[in-house]
A and B are shown apart, each in its own frame.
Chain A
Amino acid sequence: MTKALRLPPTRAGSRIMSIGSYRPSRVVDNVEIAARIESSDEWIRDRSGIIERRWAAADETVVDMALIASGKAVAAAGLSPEQISMVLVATVTHPYQTPSAAAELAARLGTNGAGALDVAAACAGFCYALSIADSLIRTGSSEYVLVVGVEKLTDFLNLDDRGSAFIFADGAGAVVVGPADHPGIGPVVWGSDGDQKDAITMTQSWAEYRTEPGEQFPALTMQGQQVFRWAIGEISKVCVQALEAAGVTIDDLVAFVPHQANMRITDAMVKQLKLPEHVVVARDIATTGNTSAASVPLALDRLVENGELPGGGLALLVGFGAGLAFAAQVVELP
């Protein structure tokens, strides 16, 4: 008979121990963007709620940004980098097919050769990675997991594209997830709709660009109305499912932290969910823009930093974007 395999002891739960963020220093206002897309400050504010966003410097990399956010998160958790045994980096803008951003980050941060993996679920990436971290900890595979959402979207932005130039931006947010004696990260509700893969995509694949280079380096492109319809039609339902899965109601929340896609999407979801007034809604997009995988941890960090949230309260996180992939879960705030 085949010998039975041994598994590590499981744990009752995991929790977010700390948050760290990095926002690039260069502030870019709407006037600068509007000039190239025949638009205006007013039009951009009306359509997106964005007043300004942050752009990374030309020589600043995804890993540079992730490293700063991660260093803050690890220090705030009261840990040293060697205690991190797994690094999960949610990103779609690390400009190397391989190796991963996570492997470089794990080394530069000073982990002791931690496991390292990039998660490519676009704007849903952070919520995907957070759930993977929770599973790793509860099953006993890891003790402390670093989860990072980071993007340098400006490397893949066509500044002449009216549909996306004003939306996307750069930044990094990181959390340390560790063991808890009760569930601090609720069950994830996730999925995708690959039939709508063209709703948010690249103008060309790398292979197409190699054989027949277009005028523009492959850039992000988005069918704004299609994405808006999907987001307000489907994602509110996903939010309700995540609350049900965690056994809580909307009244139990202190915060709602949706992916910062567009203020209009956030407004529509708040209306559909009939969010009670006491629930603080993350609206970080106004001064940060849409930073894809980085938006949820950046928005969460802003709320915690501003002291708007009681520690230990419950927040509903939801990420959604290209793929069209989504993930939502209720978490206990650090």
Chain B
Amino acid sequence: MANTEILEGLAAIVNEVAGTPVADITPDKAFIDDLDIDSLSMVEVVMACEDKFGVSIPDGEVKNLKTVGDAVSYIEKAQA
């Protein structure tokens, strides 16, 4: 899946979980500091990503996904 497609899909998920406007969800944004996602919402985002993109994101990996860009790269690699 192309990078932009993953970003679009992820933005839709973050919007659904936290109500953040899709336009604000760009690769440089940090989930916790910029997007009003707390640790529990992040679990919801991760689970929705696993469903949508068919990848596995273990608990231990979640803390490394600080920004939207981190998550997009992780999903891209996991899909490869």
Chain A residues near B (Cβ < 8 Å): 46-47, 224-226, 228-229, 232-233, 264, 268
Q: Which residues of A contact B43 (CB under 8 A)?
A: 225, 228-229, 232
Q: Please report whether the interface of chain B is mostly helix, strand, loop or mixed according to DSSP.
A: helix
Residues from chain B with Cβ under 8 Å of A46 in the complex: 38
Determine whether the beta carbon of A229 is less than 8 Å from that of B59: yes
Q: Are B47 and A264 in contact (CB under 8 A)?
A: no
Interface residues of B (CB under 8 A from A): 38-40, 43-44, 46-47, 59, 62
Give the nearest-CB partner of B41 in chain A: A264
Measured between alpha carbons, how far is A184 from B40 in the docked complex, in Å? 36
- Interface residues of chain A: helix, strand, loop or mixed (majority): helix
Most buried by A among B40, B46, B62: B40
CA distance A119 to B59 in the complex (A): 31
For the complex, what is the distance from the CA of A232 to the CA of B39, rounded to whole Å?
A: 14
Nearest-CB residue, chain A, relative to B62: A225
Minimum CB–CB distance from A152 to chain B (whole Å) comes to: 27
New contact pairs (18) apart from A225-B59, A225-B62, CB-CB < 8 Å: A47-B38, A47-B40, A224-B39, A224-B40, A225-B39, A225-B40, A225-B43, A226-B59, A228-B40, A228-B43, A229-B43, A229-B46, A229-B47, A229-B59, A232-B44, A232-B47, A233-B47, A264-B40
Instruction: For B40, list chain A residues within 8 Å (CB).
Output: 47, 224-225, 228, 264
